[in-house]
Amino acid sequence: MTMNIDNNESSLGIVISGSLSEGIRVRLTNPTTVELVKVGTFVSINGENLKFFGVITDISLGASDHNIEYGSIESSNTFVKEVMSGTTTFGEIIVHPMLTLYNTEDIDTAFEKPLPAKTIPNHFAKVSSATEQDIERVFGSESDNVFWVGHPLDMESKLCLNIKELVTRTNGVFGKSGTGKTFLTRLLLIGILQSDSASNLIFDMANEYGWRGYSENINEVKGLKQLFPSKVAVFSLDETNSKKRGLTPDYVVKFGLEEIEYGDIAILKDLLNLTDLALDAVYVLEHHYGRKNWLKMFLSLQGRDSISNIAEKLNFHEGTLISLHNRLSRIHRFNFIDKTQSHQSVEKILEYLQRGIHVVLEFGRYEHNALAYILVTNLITRRIHQKYVELTETSFTKNKKPKPIVITIEEAHRFLTPSIAPKTIFGTIAREMRKYNVTLLIVDQRPSSIDGEIMSQIGTKFACLLDNEKDVDAVLTGVHGSRKLRSVLASLDSKQQALIFGHSLPMPVVIKTREYGTPESYRSFGISNKQDQIEIDREELFGEN
């Protein structure tokens, strides 16, 4: 004889029918419960021998007498409604069973690892709201490698992620503008930082992660550097802009012209409006002048005659090279490009990352300049990947792998479209699945623009509200039970909710994301310096933030 291990469960109803593929039909035992139940809620089902964990994927109203649909009943007649509720009329939910555990009080068995559901409970099995103990059994509790990311719907329990598992693959945060992608991304970055499972390299396109950011109501929130000053370094492409925002960067990033190669130009094809013939010319110029000198030598050409001479020498059309010269001059004009000497910016970034210090690269005045963003991120990432290939291959003989790196990129579709992804370093990293200890954290509001092969290989997906059908299809590509998850994704609130599913979780789950931006939230990260205490006291005394 088995016994339920949870004595304080909130009963919802009983199993009346269903299947493993279509879901379990549950009749609600309390007629008023239907208005309180939400799609995406986590529930448990107590079977004879197994305890099932699942998610509510649909809610409906049922009636044992179908003539009731065509009858005339006054809504004000409470007596008739009370008589019929729960007997003639009732509420139903569909539960998608995802995990199973042995339903027993035996401690060793009760806390064993949950397994994917491959069967279903019997008729009349009791269905209940999940308890805090259920959440802990399935998702674990806070520890060095397990990070609290939010709460299950309508629960105060802490839902945790296995960060050590998370960083072993490329992951993605998706959602339309204003849904809280940036705040959720900050939480994941803090989880990685506190677990020390990898070093973060964050390409901070909008200057949101380093020193400070802003919430939707324009309230200022602390960036990673303020919260973890000894563990985070802010690099900047624009020192003047950083100082205007109250930050002296740890390092000012510059690049020499000799650092830019064919691959850095190829990814800019659309932004520079380059033809295939122009790219062929870049390839030839690189071989003619040498990999380190081609751009500097080509841009130093002055006047039509000098360009005509090299065009004739290389057997290229004069007009093609003149047009290419004009377009590449846009790169020449960036202040972070040094025309005279080389720099060690990438080496400095690598030095910090290998020491376990997380690097945020701010773009300053270039935050809306797609050309600068793509050029810099590709240039740095390509060289880091090259270095990590060398370090990883060397580690086989030294038996010491380099510190893993997670690279965060926003507007990821710019690097990972079907036409570009196979040619970029970002596509290579996404497909390698941490072969060389480098993975991506992709942040984007247009997942449908990302190559399907890349999307299918993303380890864990964090999906905030998406209102475009193509984007929903892209996020759910290759996911088992995607039809059921579609209804869950469509029901998310417009802010601070996300559907999480993939490699680092035992089952999909909807969460309300953890708070970020209040003194209490900072304190929950273990931040407890004197200034934080002053802010906490001020808020408690005066209601200020």
Residue 432 is encoded by which pair of tokens? 């390698």
**Do 173 and 314 fall within a single domain?**
no
Distance CA 126, CA 238 (A): 61
Task: Identify the pLDDT of residue 537.
Answer: 46
Distance CA 352, CA 236 (A): 14
Spatial neighbors of 477 by CB under 8 A, at least 6 apart, are 452, 455, 456
**Of 314, 338, 362, which closes a domain?**
338
Distance CA 408, CA 211 (A): 16
**Do 440 and 456 fall within a single domain?**
yes
Helices (H), 267-317: 276-289, 294-299, 303-314
**Do 242 and 385 fall within a single domain?**
yes
Say what the alpha-carbon torsion angle 209, 210, 212, 214 is, to the nearest 10 degrees.
-20
Q: Assess if residue 149 is contained within a domain.
A: no
Q: Assess if residue 154 is contained within a domain.
A: no
**Do 267 and 316 fall within a single domain?**
yes
Task: Identify the pLDDT of residue 106.
Answer: 52
Which amino acid does the sequence have at 69? E
Distance CA 349, CA 251 (A): 9
Distance CA 440, CA 428 (A): 11
Neighbouring CB atoms inside 10 A of 393's CB total 10
**Do 371 and 504 fall within a single domain?**
yes
- Cross-strand bridge partners of residue 499: 463, 510
Cβ atoms of residues 34 and 61 within 8 Å: yes
Residue 119 is encoded by which pair of tokens? 């069967």
Distance CA 297, CA 258 (A): 10
Distance CA 245, CA 248 (A): 9
**Do 196 and 327 fall within a single domain?**
no
Cβ atoms of residues 96 and 117 within 8 Å: no
Task: Identify the pLDDT of residue 486.
Answer: 87
Q: Assess if residue 3 is contained within a domain.
A: no
**Residue 416: which CATH number?**
3.40.50.300
Q: Assess if residue 151 is contained within a domain.
A: no
Phi, psi of 128 (to 5 degrees): -135, 160
Q: Assess if residue 144 is contained within a domain.
A: no
Instruction: Provide the number of structural domains found in the chain.
Output: 4
**Do 249 and 275 fall within a single domain?**
no
Neighbouring CB atoms inside 10 A of 350's CB total 23
Cβ atoms of residues 374 and 409 within 8 Å: no
Closest CA to 350 of 318, 381, 316: 381
Closest CA to 478 of 454, 449, 499: 454
Cβ atoms of residues 371 and 415 within 8 Å: no
Neighbouring CB atoms inside 10 A of 369's CB total 17
CA 525 to chain centre: 20
Which amino acid does the sequence have at 97? P
Helix axes 303-314, 276-289, angle to 10 degrees: 90
**Do 332 and 434 fall within a single domain?**
no
**Do 270 and 332 fall within a single domain?**
yes
Distance CA 470, CA 467 (A): 9
Q: Classify residue 123 as exposed, middle or buried by CB count within 10 Å of its CB (0-12, 13-18, 19+).
A: exposed
Strand order through the sheet with 251-252:
159-162, 146-152, 509-513, 497-502, 460-463, 171-174, 438-444, 405-410, 199-204, 358-362, 232-236, 251-252
Cβ atoms of residues 180 and 154 within 8 Å: no
Task: Identify the pLDDT of residue 75.
Answer: 57
Task: Identify the pLDDT of residue 80.
Answer: 55
Q: Assess if residue 1 is contained within a domain.
A: no
Task: State the residue range of the domain holding 234.
Answer: 162-253+343-514
Task: Identify the pLDDT of residue 414.
Answer: 86
Neighbouring CB atoms inside 10 A of 79's CB total 7
**Do 90 and 106 fall within a single domain?**
yes
**Do 273 and 185 fall within a single domain?**
no
DSSP 158: P
Q: Assess if residue 246 is contained within a domain.
A: yes
Give the pLDDT means over successive 10-residue stretches in the chain (545 positions): 44 92 90 79 90 91 73 58 68 92 59 82 93 88 89 89 92 92 95 95 92 74 93 95 90 94 90 93 94 92 91 91 94 90 92 95 92 94 92 78 92 87 87 86 94 91 93 87 83 91 89 91 78 48 46
Distance CA 252, CA 238 (A): 7
Measure Cα distances from 459 to 92, 327, 478 in Å: 34, 38, 11
pTM for the full model?
0.85
Task: Identify the pLDDT of residue 421.
Answer: 84
Classify residue 18 as left (phi > 0), alpha (psi -120 to 50) or beta: left
**Do 208 and 291 fall within a single domain?**
no
Closest CA to 200 of 461, 443, 439, 401: 439
